[in-house]
Amino acid sequence: MLKAILHGKAGRIEHNEDESVSWSSLFQAREDLLTSSVFERFAYLSEVVQACLLKHWFKTYQGILPDGFGEFKGISYWPRYIHEHSSGTNQVEPDSIFHFDECSIIVEVKPPAGGDQYFEQWQKEIESFIQSEQGQDKPLYFLAIGRIRQADARDWAIPLLAKVDSLKAVAALEWPSVTEHIIALTSDDGMGDKPVVSKQDRFILQDILEGLSLYGLQVSPFKWSQLKADVFPKLSLNHGLLQ
């Protein structure tokens, strides 16, 4: 389906009764489609590439991180939990839960052009997960991607970490950082501590990048400044091309 949308072959879909929109326009407005485009494919990556992505996603964090999260077991998408609080109960639906044998990670996603992350949502998702059976016996980590300032992430993490004993770390980053890191993983520059990326991993990572391109993110390693310098010659009125 992703390839059909990228190549303009998916057609249009009825939206809001009489309104017809393209699938690409629908993608840009829905965080759930962004979640599925990226994280469905995460599950197919090798362990070494999964670990490399997680290390980058948790690069800026508050709390304490382990050396590794353990063996990857799977992902739950939009699970529903009951949040019990002083005013009663209500349902809470995180975007996804990454399950490892040694811990769990709540992932909250906001698309680049969507609404901002907000503290109350983080708090409800963490508390409702802890109150569920799944959240009883393992350390918990929280990851927010998109529409979040680092200053806010730090200020929100401090009371959450103090209140919830099993919550060990809170991390946040923006989508351009995600895409730039994936581009670096798929490049052939051999720089830094990049792991060996297999041919299969490259195909999967490229699919993730193509999905992210639907949200207006730069998914090529070239910037306009580089293109001008490397591809276009410097012209003047005396340049040979103009004579």
Residue found under tokens 């529903």? 80
Q: pLDDT, tens digit, for every residue of 50-77? A: 999 999 999 999 999 999 999 999 999 9
Instruction: Indicate the DSSP class of residue 138.
Output: S
Q: What per-residue confidence (pLDDT) applies to 33?
A: 82
Half-sphere exposure of 189 (CA within 13 A, CB side): 11
Angle formed at CA 29 by CA 23 and CA 31, multiple of 5 degrees: 105
- Cβ-based neighbour number of residue 102 at 10 Å: 12
Angle formed at CA 139 by CA 150 and CA 43, multiple of 5 degrees: 75
Q: pTM value?
A: 0.85
Find the helix packing angle between 150-163 and 119-131, rounded to 10°: 30
> Which structure tokens are listed for 175?
């989508």
Contacts of 13 (CB under 8 A, 6+ apart): 20, 21, 22, 23, 26
User: 27-36, 85-94, 150-159, 201-210: which range is least confident on average?
Assistant: 27-36
**DSSP tally for the chain: helices H, then strands E:** 9, 10
Residue found under tokens 């070239």? 222
Q: pLDDT, tens digit, for every residue of 172-224? A: 999 999 999 999 999 876 556 788 899 999 999 999 999 899 888 998 875 54
